[in-house]
């Protein structure tokens, strides 16, 4: 297992523990630490994903990296767009608990 896989595993633990804390907040100050942890975890995934995509292009195709990074950015933006729709449809409580439980299960079942 490479260091990137361990890095992604750690970020998955950080993500699932912080996303489960958001619905439990009773005031605004309780949201500072979980949102900071979420931002850090998403940054860890993003910083590991882009070099991995570049490596896949390097070994399988011509070394044209612009399209790979554009595809990664479009996927990132689509995730934000779909996430906003899902939250407005289901509510923050159900989406946060659902993401936290799904991320924890994925991580502990060996898929993360």
pLDDT of residue 64: 72
Q: What is the pTM of this model?
A: 0.67
pLDDT mean for each 10 residues of the chain (112 residues): 65 83 89 91 80 79 74 82 81 82 77 50
pLDDT of residue 112: 46
Helices (H), the chain: 3-19, 32-60, 66-90, 92-108
- Kindly list the distances between the CA atom of residue 46 and the CA atoms of 42, 92, 97, in Å, as whole numbers in the listed order: 6, 23, 22
Give 44's contacts (C-beta < 8 A, 6+ positions apart): 7, 8, 10, 11, 14
For residue 61, the number of C-alpha atoms closer than 13 Å in the C-beta half-sphere is 11
pLDDT of residue 110: 66
Which residue, among 79, 76, 97, 111, has the nearest Cα to 17 in the 3D structure? 97
C-alpha span between 32 and 54 (Å, rounded):
34
């Amino acid at each position: 297992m490479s260091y990137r896989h361990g890095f992604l595993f750690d970020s998955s633990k950080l993500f699932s523990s912080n996303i489960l804390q958001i619905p439990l907040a009773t005031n605004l100050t309780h949201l500072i630490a979980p949102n900071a942890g979420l931002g850090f975890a998403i940054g860890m995934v993003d910083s590991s994903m882009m070099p991995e995509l570049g490596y896949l292009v390097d070994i399988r195709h011509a070394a044209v990296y612009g399209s790979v990074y554009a595809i990664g950015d479009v996927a990132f933006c689509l995730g934000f767009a779909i996430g906003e729709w899902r939250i407005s449809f289901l509510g923050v409580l159900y989406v946060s608990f659902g993401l936290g439980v799904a991320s924890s299960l994925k991580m502990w079942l060996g898929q993360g």
